[in-house]
Chains A and B, each alone.
Chain A
Amino acid sequence: MATQKPYSRVVVTGMGVVSPIGNGLAELSQQLFAGVSGIKKIDAPFAEQLSCKLAAQANFDPAAHFSKHTYSMLDRTSQMALHTSIEAVKHAGLSVNETLQPRMGVYLGTGMGGASSVEEGYVRLFKDGASRLKPFTVLMSMNNAAASAIALEFQTTGPNQTFSTACSSSAVAIGEAARAIRHGYADVMLAGGAEALLTFGTIKAWEALRTLADEDQADVSRSCKPFSADRSGLVLGEGAAMLVLESLEHAQARGATIYAELAGYGSANDSGHITQPSVKGQAATMQAALFDADLPPQAIDYINAHGTGTVMNDATETAAIKQVFGGHAYNLSISSSKGAHGHLMGAAGALEAVIALLALNSNTLPPTINLAQPDPACDLDYVPNSAKTLPSLDCVMSNSFAFGGTGAALIFKKYALKN
């Protein structure tokens, strides 16, 4: 192994996605820019026992992608993570051979890992009175099961780690994966996140936090309203998104299509309150990403905001953007796509990174849907209700913040030979 390895630039060469507004880049892109919502009343046997019946479910059938032997050993979270990884590698045109395997790793973010496997075990034990649990319970529940399944699929022996920082998990995973490449620990990383927590117990736990959106009486699909004065909370969603990150040298050597450069990553902590976001922490997160990218605030054209649709987040994030960007906050465009796909928790950062990349590659900004009532505390350009083209789009930021306080911001830039 080389002892002196120069810092590498990191580029994105592949993406795979399963989301409440479409699986695969084409379907996601079409629905995203059209402002289609994937939020509905939850389709689940326990729906009537919920006081908040909204969810953003992904249309994902494991039997369509895997043998029964494979999918029956994987939690839904891991199934979606593995499927989107395979799609991302295909999209990248990457041949994962014996030369690459030791130089390729997997970093994955998930908030609750195998939530449905945990719950299934508890139901069996506490409700059905069973004396024993299924042999795969531990292996399906553990948070690192998804990253492990991906390494097994591709036989990668590079670094394999799982990040769990609640709603910023997968943004952290992507940022740390870029660092692993930059620092020479790997040439290629599969990085992203997966989350499937739409179980009875998990939704009940979220109901108790009183952060979930009220049902819009006229149209339930419009219940999540980021940055709108009448916003009432977030809607839980599920899905997965994985990126192929590659050192620029490796991507160039194999003639890969480069979708963007991952120019910067920053992470900071709110250190204020377990749930309430702070301007201080969010601003520090964005500043850290700009510093890492060595870019001035004026370089950012568009921010895919965390924008959960809670009263507190959206006002705080707006204030933090103003603090970091100053007057430029009024020039750049911001949108939250969560009104359409809900909050994917541990997978949110990865899905929104893909969305930021789709924006960058089409010069089109996704809309903030359901923004009907401007809020004086949210007075920036949120690309309200319909997508906007921006031919000069060059550099985008994707924000993720979290319960527990860990924020992560990613900066993607159109790839140019000169930096």
Chain B
Amino acid sequence: MSADNKASPSLEEISSVLAKMIADKMEIDLATITPSSNLTELGLDSLDTFDIIFNAEDHFKIKVPNDQVNIETLQDVTALVHKLILSQQK
């Protein structure tokens, strides 16, 4: 893939990108989103979460398997994306 010459993004960087995606999609203030924010409480339903994961796949050039469960907070998505970047970037 693409990351030969640069380090993988940090958890903070991933979290910040995802928070911006959520703020943009849900039209909410970025400042109200923290790593522990619960996605449902931010107004996302399961389809909205799929959409965020879809956009994250594009942005980070990863592929999220279909069997991912237990995504409740921004932190959960961040950790998932981070894990997949490390395992899928070659």
Contact = CB atoms under 8 A, between A and B. Distances in A.
Interface of A: 67-69, 72-73, 132, 134-136, 139
Most interface-central of A67, A69, A134 (chain B CB within 10 A): A69
A72 B27 CA distance: 12
Nearest to B53: A135
B27 A136 contact: no
A67 B54 contact: no
Contacts of A136: 47, 51
B84 to A, nearest CB: 15
Interface residues of B, number: 11
Nearest to B50: A135
Given A134-B54, A135-B54, A67 B47 contact: no
Contacts of A69: 25-27, 43, 48
A67 B28 CA distance: 11
B47 A68 contact: no
A135 B27 contact: no
B20 to A, nearest CB: 14
A73 B43 CA distance: 14
A276 B24 CA distance: 50
Contact of A68 (B25, B50, B57): B25
Nearest to A134: B54
A135 B57 CA distance: 12
Given A132-B57, A135-B54, A136-B51, 19 more contacts: A67-B27, A68-B24, A68-B25, A68-B27, A69-B25, A69-B26, A69-B27, A69-B43, A69-B48, A72-B25, A73-B47, A132-B54, A134-B51, A134-B54, A135-B47, A135-B50, A135-B51, A136-B47, A139-B47
7 contacts: A69-B48, A72-B25, A73-B47, A132-B57, A134-B51, A134-B54, A139-B47
Nearest to B28: A69
Interface of B: 24-27, 43, 47-48, 50-51, 54, 57
Contacts of B48: 69
A176 to B, nearest CB: 30
Q: What are the nearest 6 A-B pairs in CB distance?
A: A135-B50, A135-B51, A135-B54, A68-B27, A67-B27, A69-B26
A68 B48 CA distance: 12
B78 to A, nearest CB: 20
Contacts of B50: 135
Contacts of B43: 69
A289 to B, nearest CB: 42
Contacts of B26: 69
Contacts of B51: 134-136
Nearest to A70: B27
A45 B25 CA distance: 26
Contacts of A68: 24-25, 27
A94 B19 CA distance: 40
A139 B50 CA distance: 13
A136 B54 CA distance: 10
Contacts of A135: 47, 50-51, 54
Nearest to B26: A69
Contacts of B27: 67-69
A67 B89 CA distance: 36
Nearest to A72: B25
A135 B50 CA distance: 7
Contacts of A67: 27
Nearest to A73: B47
Contacts of B47: 73, 135-136, 139
Instruction: Report which residue of A72, A73, A135, A139 has the largest number of chain B beta carbons within 10 angstroms of its beta carbon.
Output: A135
Nearest to A131: B63
Contacts of B25: 68-69, 72
A73 B26 CA distance: 12
Contacts of B57: 132
A67 B48 CA distance: 14
Nearest to B49: A135
A69 B23 CA distance: 10
